[in-house]
Amino acid sequence: MAIIVQKYGGSSVADLEKIRRVARKVIARKRQGHELVVVVSAMGRTTDELLDMARELSPEPSRRELDMLLSVGERISMALLSMAIHQEGYEAISLTGSQCGIITTDSHSNARIMDVRPFRVQDELRRGHIVIVAGYQGTSYKREVTTLGRGGSDTTAVALAAALSAQACEIYSDVDGVYSADPRVVVDAKQLAELSYEEMIEMARGGASVLNEQAVAFARDARISLYARSTHMEGSKGTIVRPDGFDERAARAERGLPHMAVSHARDVMVVRAAGEAADAVVERLEEHSPIAFAWEPGASARVLLNAALLAGPDALASELEGMGASVVRSAAISLIGHGVGAVPRWAREAQSVLTREGVVSSAPFCSSARLTWVIPQEDLDRVANVLHGEFVFDA
Ligand code: ASP
Ligand code: MG
């Protein structure tokens, strides 16, 4: 029997009625003859509420204790979903990240998965149980509870899918797949039927939260196709993220018309440091994946971090300031597409659009599949719409 890994985001399990609906959806899939592993996020805004509580007690709570606290959110939803499935007459068992053998680094609040030893999951599947897993958490080699960074439940799902050689990994949320820009901001954003891993990683790095970057990197390395779909919209086709090699895309890129998308991060920490502090800052930020960075060893550093992905952005900012860095909050806008940063043309054209629009931007950060500018937060929505209108061609 083929193993299917599904993941349901926080908004899909936000209340008991939604949990019941997810339970029925899981059972329907099981009845098609699959072995099912279901990863859940914390209900609704639970993670944010837990963080607020911690910060009310202490401006810089211990990162170890934060992980203890935040890992509870996912445990609540896993147990409730398991109970809802029992209630429908099916056998399910909930397991924490550590019970599933998810071994991580010891970097609290931002741990990376190093190994997955899913023996317990395999045992339970063999017994015919639906296995419900608490996302976003693991255990370090020091046997401490760790969490994987904001949005980390996607990573749990893909890592398990890889370790179990699953047939598919389905990521369900309240949005119907991946769009050419955030549809809440860009009115003309279009649903993308398929994307390469690289494009999706660049979109996530640029700030798109629909799929977690580390999760997509795992999928790429294990060559697992990811299906991003809407939980409650029946018949939603969603988006497939899978290996590149579409003829149509290659042909477009050759004609100098790469497929482009726009992604943005609304709350970005722009970290600047000079002299020796530059090197220290770069080393300190090594565990985070920055939106972009520029570094001249011993001379200067500029690092853009997506504050929405940090468990404690303010604490990190004051730590960096203590090291001699300056930290300001701004926004970032990116153009994504194969080869957009490989030739100067797209950076030049986009830069002239920004100038025409009177936007005060940073110099572009260029990588082969992404161009990123720091822009004022108040210009973000307008710039996202303008760049989408100018550069995102009809598919
Ligand atoms: N509950 C965690 C968060 O809000 C993890 C996740 O949702 O994937 O970031
Ligand atoms: Mg998410």
pLDDT value for 247: 58
Q: How far is the CA of 15 from the centre of ligand 1 (A)?
A: 16
Task: Kindly state the average pLDDT of the residues 152-178.
Answer: 95
Kindly give the distance from the C-alpha atom of residue 151 to the centroid of ligand 1, in angstroms, as a whole number. 4
Q: Write out pLDDT tens, residues 195-230.
A: 999 999 999 999 999 999 999 999 999 999 999 999
Q: Which ligand is nearest to the CA of 135?
A: 1
Nearest CA among 129, 162, 128, 134 for reference residue 148? 134
> Which part of the chain has CATH 3.30.2130.10?
255-391
**Ligand 1 site-directed mutation target among 72, 150, 172, 213, most atoms within 8 Å of CB:** 150
| Span from the CA of 230 to the centroid of ligand 2 (angstroms) | 12
The pick from 41, 75, 110 for probing ligand 1's pocket by mutation, whose C-beta has the most ligand atoms within 8 angstroms, reads 41
What is the per-residue pLDDT across 314-324, written as a single tens digit (0 to 9) for each? 989 999 999 99
Where do the CATH 3.40.1160.10 domains begin and end in the chain? 3-246
To the question of domain 3-246 being in CATH 3.40.1160.10, the answer is yes
Question: What pLDDT, in 10s, does the model give residues 80-124?
Answer: 999 999 999 999 999 999 999 999 999 999 999 999 999 999 999
Whether 375 contacts 383, CB under 8 Å: yes
Residue 153 beta carbon below 6 angstroms from any ligand 1 atom: yes
**Alpha carbons 135 and 252: distance in angstroms, whole number:** 38
Q: Which helix (H) or strand (E) holds 291?
A: none
What separation in Å is there between the alpha carbon of 10 and the centre of ligand 1? Answer: 7
Judged on CB neighbours under 10 Å (0-12, 13-18, 19+), 238 is buried
Assign domain 255-391 to a CATH class: alpha beta
Ligand 1 pocket mutation, candidates 43, 69, 136, criterion most atoms within 8 A of CB: 136
Contact 182, 384 (CB under 8 A): yes
Query: pLDDT, tens digit, for every residue of 287-301?
Result: 888 999 999 999 999
Contact call for residues 171 and 229 (beta carbons, < 8 A)? yes
> Could you tell me if the CB of 152 is within 6 A of ligand 1?
yes
Alpha-helical segments (H) within the chain: 16-31, 46-57, 63-87, 119-126, 153-163, 197-206, 213-222, 247-254, 276-284, 313-322, 344-356, 380-391
The pTM of the full predicted model, rounded to 2 decimals, is: 0.91
pLDDT value of residue 394: 64
Percentage of residues in the chain having pLDDT higher than 70: 97
Ligand 1 atom closest to residue 212's alpha carbon, by position in its atom list: 8
Ligand having the closest approach to the CA of 213: 2
Mean pLDDT, rounded, for 2-31: 97
Residue 245's pLDDT is what?
Answer: 58
Question: Which atom of ligand 1 is nearest to 9's Cα?
Answer: 7
| pLDDT of res. 246 | 59
Ligand 1 atom at shortest distance from the alpha carbon of 73: 1
